[in-house]
Amino acid sequence: MNATGPGGVDPYLSPIFRDADPDGAVLAVIGLGYVGLPLAVAFARKGRRVVGYDIDAARVQRIRAGSDETGEVAADELREALAGGLDPTADPEALRAARFILVCVPTPITTDRRPDLGPLLAACATVGPRLSPGSVVVFESTVYPGVTEDVCGPALARASGLEIGREVLLGYSPERINPGDRRHRVDTIVKVVAGQGQALTDALGRLYGALNGGLVHQAPSIRVAEAAKAIENAQRDINIAFVNEVALICERIGLSVHDVLEAARTKWNFLDFRPGLVGGHCIGVDPYYLSHLSQIIGHEPEVILAGRRLNDRMADDVADRIAFRYRAISGQAVRPRALVLGVTFKENVPDQRNSKVPQLAGRLLRHGFDVMVYDPHIDPAAFSAIHGLTAVSTDDLKVFVADVLVLAVAHREFRALDVETVVRMLSPHGLVADLPGLWRQTLICKRLEYWSL
Protein backbone atom coordinates (compact mmCIF):
# COMPACT_ATOMS: atom_id res chain seq x y z
CA MET A 1 0.00 0.00 0.00
CA ASN A 2 1.13 3.52 -0.69
CA ALA A 3 1.79 5.65 2.38
CA THR A 4 3.50 4.75 5.57
CA GLY A 5 4.37 7.16 8.32
CA PRO A 6 7.69 7.75 10.06
CA GLY A 7 9.57 4.51 10.72
CA GLY A 8 7.37 2.61 8.25
CA VAL A 9 4.31 2.75 10.57
CA ASP A 10 0.92 2.89 8.90
CA PRO A 11 -0.24 6.45 9.68
CA TYR A 12 -3.87 5.54 10.39
CA LEU A 13 -2.67 3.31 13.25
CA SER A 14 -1.26 6.36 15.03
CA PRO A 15 -3.19 7.37 18.19
CA ILE A 16 -3.99 10.66 16.42
CA PHE A 17 -6.68 8.75 14.48
CA ARG A 18 -8.28 6.97 17.42
CA ASP A 19 -11.51 8.99 16.97
CA ALA A 20 -11.65 8.37 13.21
CA ASP A 21 -13.65 5.22 13.73
CA PRO A 22 -15.30 4.02 10.50
CA ASP A 23 -18.16 2.49 12.47
CA GLY A 24 -19.07 5.43 14.64
CA ALA A 25 -17.37 8.75 13.84
CA VAL A 26 -19.36 11.79 12.76
CA LEU A 27 -19.29 12.16 8.97
CA ALA A 28 -19.48 15.23 6.80
CA VAL A 29 -20.52 15.31 3.16
CA ILE A 30 -19.40 18.38 1.21
CA GLY A 31 -21.70 19.16 -1.71
CA LEU A 32 -25.29 17.91 -1.52
CA GLY A 33 -25.94 17.37 -5.23
CA TYR A 34 -26.72 14.26 -7.27
CA VAL A 35 -23.85 12.42 -5.56
CA GLY A 36 -23.57 13.95 -2.11
CA LEU A 37 -27.20 13.92 -1.02
CA PRO A 38 -27.89 10.21 -1.71
CA LEU A 39 -24.63 9.38 0.08
CA ALA A 40 -25.45 11.55 3.12
CA VAL A 41 -28.98 10.12 3.25
CA ALA A 42 -27.71 6.54 2.98
CA PHE A 43 -25.35 7.02 5.93
CA ALA A 44 -27.98 8.84 8.01
CA ARG A 45 -30.49 6.04 7.37
CA LYS A 46 -27.90 3.63 8.77
CA GLY A 47 -27.98 5.66 11.97
CA ARG A 48 -24.86 7.74 11.33
CA ARG A 49 -24.60 11.40 12.27
CA VAL A 50 -23.91 13.26 9.03
CA VAL A 51 -23.22 16.96 8.60
CA GLY A 52 -24.32 17.74 5.05
CA TYR A 53 -22.65 20.95 3.93
CA ASP A 54 -23.40 22.88 0.73
CA ILE A 55 -22.56 26.44 -0.31
CA ASP A 56 -26.00 26.73 -1.91
CA ALA A 57 -28.07 27.89 1.06
CA ALA A 58 -31.31 27.71 -0.94
CA ARG A 59 -30.65 24.06 -1.82
CA VAL A 60 -29.90 23.36 1.86
CA GLN A 61 -33.22 24.98 2.81
CA ARG A 62 -35.13 22.83 0.32
CA ILE A 63 -33.42 19.68 1.60
CA ARG A 64 -34.20 20.66 5.18
CA ALA A 65 -37.82 21.08 4.10
CA GLY A 66 -37.76 17.51 2.78
CA SER A 67 -37.49 18.13 -0.93
CA ASP A 68 -34.81 17.02 -3.39
CA GLU A 69 -35.36 18.52 -6.82
CA THR A 70 -32.82 16.17 -8.43
CA GLY A 71 -35.30 13.34 -7.84
CA GLU A 72 -32.48 11.07 -6.63
CA VAL A 73 -33.74 10.74 -3.06
CA ALA A 74 -37.34 9.77 -2.38
CA ALA A 75 -39.30 12.00 0.00
CA ASP A 76 -39.74 9.25 2.60
CA GLU A 77 -36.02 8.42 2.57
CA LEU A 78 -35.10 12.06 3.01
CA ARG A 79 -37.61 12.43 5.85
CA GLU A 80 -36.15 9.37 7.55
CA ALA A 81 -32.61 10.72 7.17
CA LEU A 82 -33.60 14.15 8.50
CA ALA A 83 -35.38 12.59 11.47
CA GLY A 84 -32.22 10.56 12.09
CA GLY A 85 -28.67 11.82 11.82
CA LEU A 86 -28.65 14.11 8.76
CA ASP A 87 -28.00 17.78 9.43
CA PRO A 88 -27.99 19.77 6.16
CA THR A 89 -26.28 23.12 6.63
CA ALA A 90 -24.66 26.02 4.82
CA ASP A 91 -22.59 26.83 7.92
CA PRO A 92 -19.02 25.52 7.46
CA GLU A 93 -18.38 25.71 11.23
CA ALA A 94 -20.56 22.60 11.59
CA LEU A 95 -17.79 20.65 9.81
CA ARG A 96 -15.60 20.79 12.91
CA ALA A 97 -17.63 17.95 14.43
CA ALA A 98 -16.74 15.48 11.66
CA ARG A 99 -13.85 13.01 11.54
CA PHE A 100 -14.48 11.64 8.03
CA ILE A 101 -15.12 14.35 5.45
CA LEU A 102 -16.44 13.09 2.11
CA VAL A 103 -16.03 15.64 -0.69
CA CYS A 104 -18.64 15.44 -3.48
CA VAL A 105 -18.35 18.82 -5.22
CA PRO A 106 -18.54 19.25 -9.01
CA THR A 107 -15.54 18.77 -11.29
CA PRO A 108 -16.58 20.59 -14.47
CA ILE A 109 -14.50 21.72 -17.42
CA THR A 110 -13.62 25.23 -18.51
CA THR A 111 -14.84 26.72 -21.79
CA ASP A 112 -11.60 25.53 -23.42
CA ARG A 113 -12.31 21.98 -22.16
CA ARG A 114 -9.72 21.77 -19.43
CA PRO A 115 -10.39 20.46 -15.91
CA ASP A 116 -11.83 23.18 -13.69
CA LEU A 117 -10.56 22.30 -10.22
CA GLY A 118 -12.03 25.51 -8.78
CA PRO A 119 -14.88 23.86 -6.80
CA LEU A 120 -12.49 21.23 -5.39
CA LEU A 121 -10.00 23.90 -4.31
CA ALA A 122 -12.80 25.99 -2.84
CA ALA A 123 -13.99 22.95 -0.88
CA CYS A 124 -10.42 22.39 0.41
CA ALA A 125 -10.25 26.06 1.46
CA THR A 126 -13.49 25.62 3.42
CA VAL A 127 -12.67 22.24 4.93
CA GLY A 128 -9.00 22.93 5.72
CA PRO A 129 -9.40 25.41 8.58
CA ARG A 130 -11.99 23.11 10.22
CA LEU A 131 -9.72 20.04 10.23
CA SER A 132 -7.91 18.87 13.31
CA PRO A 133 -5.27 16.19 13.81
CA GLY A 134 -7.02 12.88 13.25
CA SER A 135 -9.29 14.00 10.37
CA VAL A 136 -9.68 11.96 7.20
CA VAL A 137 -10.69 13.66 3.94
CA VAL A 138 -12.06 11.38 1.23
CA PHE A 139 -12.65 12.71 -2.27
CA GLU A 140 -15.49 11.24 -4.33
CA SER A 141 -15.47 13.79 -7.14
CA THR A 142 -14.21 12.52 -10.50
CA VAL A 143 -10.63 13.65 -11.14
CA TYR A 144 -7.52 12.54 -13.02
CA PRO A 145 -4.84 10.52 -11.24
CA GLY A 146 -2.81 12.70 -8.90
CA VAL A 147 -5.39 15.37 -8.07
CA THR A 148 -6.17 14.05 -4.58
CA GLU A 149 -2.58 13.83 -3.41
CA ASP A 150 -0.86 16.49 -5.52
CA VAL A 151 -3.53 19.20 -5.71
CA CYS A 152 -6.03 18.70 -2.87
CA GLY A 153 -3.46 17.50 -0.32
CA PRO A 154 -1.31 20.65 -0.58
CA ALA A 155 -4.45 22.85 -0.64
CA LEU A 156 -5.67 21.23 2.58
CA ALA A 157 -2.21 21.57 4.14
CA ARG A 158 -2.13 25.30 3.33
CA ALA A 159 -5.62 25.89 4.66
CA SER A 160 -5.21 23.79 7.82
CA GLY A 161 -1.55 24.20 8.75
CA LEU A 162 -1.57 20.42 9.34
CA GLU A 163 0.67 17.77 7.86
CA ILE A 164 -1.12 15.68 5.25
CA GLY A 165 -0.17 12.02 5.44
CA ARG A 166 0.53 12.24 9.18
CA GLU A 167 -1.96 14.48 11.00
CA VAL A 168 -4.64 14.39 8.29
CA LEU A 169 -5.07 11.48 5.90
CA LEU A 170 -6.48 11.43 2.40
CA GLY A 171 -8.66 8.87 0.70
CA TYR A 172 -10.35 8.51 -2.65
CA SER A 173 -13.52 6.64 -3.45
CA PRO A 174 -15.09 7.42 -6.81
CA GLU A 175 -18.84 7.73 -7.09
CA ARG A 176 -20.45 5.60 -9.78
CA ILE A 177 -24.15 6.30 -9.42
CA ASN A 178 -26.13 7.00 -12.54
CA PRO A 179 -28.86 9.68 -12.34
CA GLY A 180 -32.35 8.26 -12.71
CA ASP A 181 -31.09 4.67 -12.40
CA ARG A 182 -33.12 2.86 -9.73
CA ARG A 183 -31.03 -0.33 -9.91
CA HIS A 184 -27.50 1.01 -9.47
CA ARG A 185 -27.67 2.88 -6.17
CA VAL A 186 -25.34 3.73 -3.31
CA ASP A 187 -26.39 0.50 -1.60
CA THR A 188 -25.88 -1.79 -4.63
CA ILE A 189 -22.78 -0.50 -6.46
CA VAL A 190 -19.33 -1.91 -5.74
CA LYS A 191 -17.35 0.89 -4.11
CA VAL A 192 -13.68 1.32 -4.99
CA VAL A 193 -11.69 2.65 -2.02
CA ALA A 194 -8.10 3.71 -1.44
CA GLY A 195 -6.46 5.63 1.36
CA GLN A 196 -3.06 6.73 2.53
CA GLY A 197 -1.94 3.44 4.02
CA GLN A 198 -3.47 -0.03 4.17
CA ALA A 199 -5.11 0.56 7.55
CA LEU A 200 -7.03 3.58 6.24
CA THR A 201 -7.98 1.67 3.06
CA ASP A 202 -9.38 -1.08 5.31
CA ALA A 203 -11.23 1.52 7.37
CA LEU A 204 -12.74 3.08 4.25
CA GLY A 205 -13.80 -0.39 3.15
CA ARG A 206 -15.65 -0.77 6.48
CA LEU A 207 -17.15 2.72 6.24
CA TYR A 208 -18.58 2.28 2.74
CA GLY A 209 -19.13 -1.45 3.05
CA ALA A 210 -21.68 -0.74 5.78
CA LEU A 211 -23.87 0.86 3.08
CA ASN A 212 -23.74 -1.88 0.45
CA GLY A 213 -23.21 -5.14 2.30
CA GLY A 214 -19.44 -5.08 1.89
CA LEU A 215 -19.32 -4.58 -1.90
CA VAL A 216 -15.90 -2.96 -1.75
CA HIS A 217 -12.87 -3.13 -3.99
CA GLN A 218 -9.61 -1.99 -2.40
CA ALA A 219 -7.44 -0.26 -4.98
CA PRO A 220 -3.69 -0.44 -4.31
CA SER A 221 -3.35 3.35 -4.31
CA ILE A 222 -5.33 6.56 -4.50
CA ARG A 223 -3.99 7.13 -8.03
CA VAL A 224 -5.28 3.73 -9.18
CA ALA A 225 -8.74 4.51 -7.80
CA GLU A 226 -8.71 7.93 -9.51
CA ALA A 227 -7.59 6.40 -12.81
CA ALA A 228 -10.22 3.64 -12.65
CA LYS A 229 -13.01 6.20 -12.43
CA ALA A 230 -11.56 8.38 -15.18
CA ILE A 231 -11.34 5.47 -17.64
CA GLU A 232 -14.80 4.09 -16.85
CA ASN A 233 -16.52 7.10 -18.34
CA ALA A 234 -13.97 7.61 -21.12
CA GLN A 235 -14.61 4.02 -22.20
CA ARG A 236 -18.36 4.66 -22.43
CA ASP A 237 -17.79 7.87 -24.37
CA ILE A 238 -15.55 6.15 -26.92
CA ASN A 239 -17.95 3.26 -27.40
CA ILE A 240 -20.92 5.58 -27.90
CA ALA A 241 -18.84 7.63 -30.36
CA PHE A 242 -18.23 4.45 -32.34
CA VAL A 243 -21.92 3.58 -32.64
CA ASN A 244 -22.70 7.23 -33.42
CA GLU A 245 -20.26 7.04 -36.29
CA VAL A 246 -21.85 3.78 -37.41
CA ALA A 247 -25.27 5.48 -37.20
CA LEU A 248 -24.16 8.33 -39.45
CA ILE A 249 -22.78 5.86 -41.99
CA CYS A 250 -25.91 3.68 -41.88
CA GLU A 251 -28.18 6.70 -42.26
CA ARG A 252 -26.45 7.72 -45.47
CA ILE A 253 -26.80 4.27 -47.00
CA GLY A 254 -30.42 3.91 -46.01
CA LEU A 255 -29.96 1.39 -43.20
CA SER A 256 -31.40 1.65 -39.72
CA VAL A 257 -28.52 1.54 -37.25
CA HIS A 258 -30.95 -0.04 -34.80
CA ASP A 259 -31.55 -2.95 -37.20
CA VAL A 260 -27.81 -3.29 -37.70
CA LEU A 261 -27.08 -3.24 -33.95
CA GLU A 262 -29.88 -5.68 -33.24
CA ALA A 263 -28.29 -8.15 -35.64
CA ALA A 264 -24.71 -7.53 -34.44
CA ARG A 265 -25.74 -7.89 -30.81
CA THR A 266 -26.46 -11.56 -31.39
CA LYS A 267 -22.71 -12.14 -31.38
CA TRP A 268 -21.62 -13.16 -27.88
CA ASN A 269 -18.87 -10.54 -27.56
CA PHE A 270 -20.45 -7.59 -29.37
CA LEU A 271 -20.58 -4.60 -27.01
CA ASP A 272 -24.07 -3.24 -26.50
CA PHE A 273 -23.95 0.53 -26.93
CA ARG A 274 -26.68 2.73 -28.44
CA PRO A 275 -26.24 5.84 -30.58
CA GLY A 276 -27.37 9.20 -29.25
CA LEU A 277 -26.48 12.59 -27.88
CA VAL A 278 -23.87 12.48 -25.12
CA GLY A 279 -24.51 15.16 -22.53
CA GLY A 280 -24.51 15.37 -18.76
CA HIS A 281 -21.74 16.19 -16.38
CA CYS A 282 -19.89 12.85 -16.52
CA ILE A 283 -19.45 11.06 -19.84
CA GLY A 284 -19.05 14.21 -21.88
CA VAL A 285 -16.76 15.82 -19.30
CA ASP A 286 -14.60 13.21 -17.57
CA PRO A 287 -12.63 12.19 -20.71
CA TYR A 288 -11.24 15.73 -20.78
CA TYR A 289 -9.74 15.09 -17.33
CA LEU A 290 -7.96 12.04 -18.67
CA SER A 291 -6.85 13.76 -21.89
CA HIS A 292 -5.58 16.75 -19.89
CA LEU A 293 -3.38 14.50 -17.76
CA SER A 294 -2.22 12.69 -20.86
CA GLN A 295 -1.21 15.97 -22.50
CA ILE A 296 0.67 17.28 -19.49
CA ILE A 297 2.74 14.11 -19.31
CA GLY A 298 3.55 14.33 -23.03
CA HIS A 299 1.23 11.77 -24.62
CA GLU A 300 -1.18 13.23 -27.16
CA PRO A 301 -4.39 11.23 -26.67
CA GLU A 302 -5.90 10.10 -29.95
CA VAL A 303 -8.79 7.77 -29.26
CA ILE A 304 -10.14 9.70 -26.26
CA LEU A 305 -10.30 13.02 -28.07
CA ALA A 306 -11.56 11.50 -31.32
CA GLY A 307 -14.52 10.11 -29.39
CA ARG A 308 -15.11 13.48 -27.77
CA ARG A 309 -15.00 15.33 -31.09
CA LEU A 310 -17.51 13.01 -32.68
CA ASN A 311 -19.91 13.04 -29.74
CA ASP A 312 -19.62 16.81 -29.36
CA ARG A 313 -20.71 17.43 -32.93
CA MET A 314 -23.35 14.69 -33.06
CA ALA A 315 -26.17 17.15 -32.27
CA ASP A 316 -25.21 19.25 -35.30
CA ASP A 317 -24.90 16.19 -37.53
CA VAL A 318 -28.31 14.93 -36.45
CA ALA A 319 -29.94 18.35 -37.04
CA ASP A 320 -28.34 18.49 -40.49
CA ARG A 321 -29.72 15.07 -41.39
CA ILE A 322 -33.21 15.99 -40.14
CA ALA A 323 -33.19 19.25 -42.15
CA PHE A 324 -31.98 17.38 -45.24
CA ARG A 325 -34.67 14.72 -44.87
CA TYR A 326 -37.43 17.26 -44.25
CA ARG A 327 -36.47 19.24 -47.34
CA ALA A 328 -36.40 16.06 -49.38
CA ILE A 329 -40.05 15.39 -48.54
CA SER A 330 -41.45 18.93 -48.37
CA GLY A 331 -39.39 21.06 -50.74
CA GLN A 332 -38.52 24.52 -49.44
CA ALA A 333 -41.34 25.28 -47.00
CA VAL A 334 -41.11 28.76 -45.48
CA ARG A 335 -40.08 28.61 -41.84
CA PRO A 336 -41.27 25.12 -41.02
CA ARG A 337 -42.00 24.51 -37.36
CA ALA A 338 -39.96 21.98 -35.44
CA LEU A 339 -41.06 20.72 -32.04
CA VAL A 340 -38.28 19.03 -30.07
CA LEU A 341 -39.52 16.57 -27.45
CA GLY A 342 -37.15 16.27 -24.49
CA VAL A 343 -34.31 18.56 -23.48
CA THR A 344 -32.70 16.84 -20.51
CA PHE A 345 -29.40 15.04 -20.98
CA LYS A 346 -31.03 11.63 -20.53
CA GLU A 347 -34.43 10.08 -20.11
CA ASN A 348 -36.68 10.40 -17.05
CA VAL A 349 -34.52 12.91 -15.14
CA PRO A 350 -34.79 16.71 -14.83
CA ASP A 351 -30.99 17.10 -15.21
CA GLN A 352 -30.15 19.43 -18.11
CA ARG A 353 -26.43 19.83 -17.44
CA ASN A 354 -24.48 19.83 -20.71
CA SER A 355 -27.52 18.53 -22.56
CA LYS A 356 -26.86 18.55 -26.29
CA VAL A 357 -30.51 19.22 -27.14
CA PRO A 358 -30.15 23.04 -27.07
CA GLN A 359 -27.27 22.60 -29.58
CA LEU A 360 -29.53 20.49 -31.80
CA ALA A 361 -32.37 23.03 -31.51
CA GLY A 362 -29.97 25.89 -32.28
CA ARG A 363 -28.75 24.11 -35.41
CA LEU A 364 -32.35 23.57 -36.57
CA LEU A 365 -32.94 27.31 -36.09
CA ARG A 366 -29.96 27.98 -38.34
CA HIS A 367 -31.52 25.66 -40.91
CA GLY A 368 -34.49 28.04 -40.98
CA PHE A 369 -36.88 26.17 -38.66
CA ASP A 370 -39.02 27.86 -36.05
CA VAL A 371 -38.08 25.75 -33.05
CA MET A 372 -40.05 24.99 -29.90
CA VAL A 373 -39.09 22.51 -27.23
CA TYR A 374 -41.20 20.56 -24.78
CA ASP A 375 -40.12 18.52 -21.79
CA PRO A 376 -42.45 17.41 -18.99
CA HIS A 377 -39.47 17.25 -16.58
CA ILE A 378 -38.46 20.91 -16.78
CA ASP A 379 -39.75 24.37 -15.98
CA PRO A 380 -40.35 25.86 -19.47
CA ALA A 381 -39.88 29.49 -18.36
CA ALA A 382 -36.54 28.77 -16.69
CA PHE A 383 -35.34 26.82 -19.73
CA SER A 384 -36.34 29.62 -22.11
CA ALA A 385 -34.58 32.22 -19.96
CA ILE A 386 -31.32 30.23 -19.99
CA HIS A 387 -31.24 29.07 -23.60
CA GLY A 388 -33.23 31.73 -25.47
CA LEU A 389 -35.35 28.95 -26.99
CA THR A 390 -39.13 28.79 -26.72
CA ALA A 391 -40.21 26.02 -24.37
CA VAL A 392 -43.90 25.15 -24.45
CA SER A 393 -46.04 23.89 -21.60
CA THR A 394 -48.16 20.74 -21.56
CA ASP A 395 -51.24 22.91 -22.23
CA ASP A 396 -49.62 24.63 -25.23
CA LEU A 397 -48.82 21.21 -26.61
CA LYS A 398 -52.50 20.32 -26.92
CA VAL A 399 -52.97 22.89 -29.70
CA PHE A 400 -49.48 22.89 -31.20
CA VAL A 401 -48.92 21.58 -34.73
CA ALA A 402 -45.38 20.96 -35.96
CA ASP A 403 -43.94 20.21 -39.39
CA VAL A 404 -41.14 18.21 -37.83
CA LEU A 405 -41.51 16.41 -34.54
CA VAL A 406 -38.08 15.61 -33.16
CA LEU A 407 -38.05 13.02 -30.41
CA ALA A 408 -34.73 13.80 -28.68
CA VAL A 409 -35.07 12.11 -25.28
CA ALA A 410 -36.89 8.84 -24.61
CA HIS A 411 -38.82 10.01 -21.54
CA ARG A 412 -41.48 7.57 -20.37
CA GLU A 413 -44.16 10.17 -21.22
CA PHE A 414 -43.11 9.99 -24.89
CA ARG A 415 -42.89 6.22 -24.84
CA ALA A 416 -46.59 6.27 -24.03
CA LEU A 417 -47.64 8.51 -26.95
CA ASP A 418 -49.94 6.80 -29.42
CA VAL A 419 -50.14 7.35 -33.15
CA GLU A 420 -53.35 9.42 -32.93
CA THR A 421 -51.75 11.93 -30.56
CA VAL A 422 -48.70 12.23 -32.78
CA VAL A 423 -50.87 12.67 -35.88
CA ARG A 424 -52.68 15.53 -34.11
CA MET A 425 -49.34 17.23 -33.34
CA LEU A 426 -48.01 16.91 -36.88
CA SER A 427 -48.98 18.86 -40.00
CA PRO A 428 -50.02 16.78 -43.05
CA HIS A 429 -46.84 15.43 -44.69
CA GLY A 430 -44.85 16.38 -41.59
CA LEU A 431 -41.81 14.38 -40.49
CA VAL A 432 -41.27 12.42 -37.31
CA ALA A 433 -37.54 12.34 -36.41
CA ASP A 434 -36.93 9.76 -33.73
CA LEU A 435 -33.35 9.92 -32.40
CA PRO A 436 -33.57 7.08 -29.86
CA GLY A 437 -35.56 4.89 -32.27
CA LEU A 438 -38.27 4.65 -29.65
CA TRP A 439 -41.16 4.43 -32.12
CA ARG A 440 -39.46 2.35 -34.79
CA GLN A 441 -41.69 -0.64 -34.20
CA THR A 442 -44.94 1.24 -33.64
CA LEU A 443 -47.69 2.60 -35.85
CA ILE A 444 -45.99 6.01 -35.62
CA CYS A 445 -43.18 4.59 -37.74
CA LYS A 446 -45.51 2.70 -40.06
CA ARG A 447 -48.15 5.37 -40.73
CA LEU A 448 -46.15 8.61 -40.74
CA GLU A 449 -43.16 9.99 -42.60
CA TYR A 450 -40.50 8.69 -40.26
CA TRP A 451 -36.77 9.19 -39.83
CA SER A 452 -34.51 7.65 -37.27
CA LEU A 453 -30.77 7.25 -36.86
Ligand X SMILES: NC(=O)c1ccc[n+]([C@@H]2O[C@H](COP(=O)([O-])OP(=O)(O)OC[C@H]3O[C@@H](n4cnc5c(N)ncnc54)[C@H](O)[C@@H]3O)[C@@H](O)[C@H]2O)c1
282 is catalytic: yes
Residue nearest to ligand X (CB): 33
Residue 196: CB minimum distance to ligand X, A: 20
| Residue whose CB is less far from ligand X, 286 or 317 | 286
Q: How far is the CB of 270 from ligand X (least distance, A)?
A: 26
Tell me, letter by letter, the H, E, C secondary structure of the chain: CCCCCHHHCCHHHCHHHCCCCCCCCCEEEECCCCCHHHHHHHHHHCCCCEEEECCCHHHHHHHHCCCCCCCCCCHHHHHHHHHCCEEEECCHHHHHHCCEEEECCCCCECCCCCECCHHHHHHHHHHHHHCCCCEEEEECCCCCCCHHHHHHHHHHHHHHCCCECCCEEEEECCCCCCCCCCCCCCCCCCEEEEECCHHHHHHHHHHHHHHHCCCEEECCCHHHHHHHHHHHHHHHHHHHHHHHHHHHHHHHCCCCHHHHHHHHCCCCCCCCCCCCCCCCCCCCCHHHHHHHHHHHCCCCCCHHHHHHHHHHHHHHHHHHHHHHHHHHHHCCCCCCEEEEECCCCCCCCCCCCCCCHHHHHHHHHHCCCEEEEECCCCCHHHHHHHHCCEECCHHHHCCCCEEEEEECCCCHHHHCCCHHHHHHHEEEEEEEEECCCCCCCCHHHHHCEEEEC
Minimum gap (Å) between residue 126 Cβ and ligand X: 6
Cβ proximity to ligand X: between 13 and 122 the closer is: 122
Complex with ligand X: residue 282 or 361, whichever CB lies closer: 282
Tell me how far, at minimum, the Cβ of 236 lies from ligand X, in Å: 12
Q: Which is nearer to ligand X, 121 or 264 (CB)?
A: 121
Could you say which of 152, 250, 282, 445 is catalytic? 282
C-beta closer to ligand X: residue 212 or 427:
212
* Least distance between ligand X and beta carbon 103 (Å): 8
Q: Which chain residues interact with ligand X by CB under 6 A?
A: 30-36, 53-56, 59, 104-107, 119, 122-123, 126, 140-142, 175-179, 281-282
Query: By C-beta, is 204 or 318 nearer to ligand X?
Result: 204
Q: How far is the CB of 366 from ligand X (least distance, A)?
A: 30
The catalytic site residues sit at 282
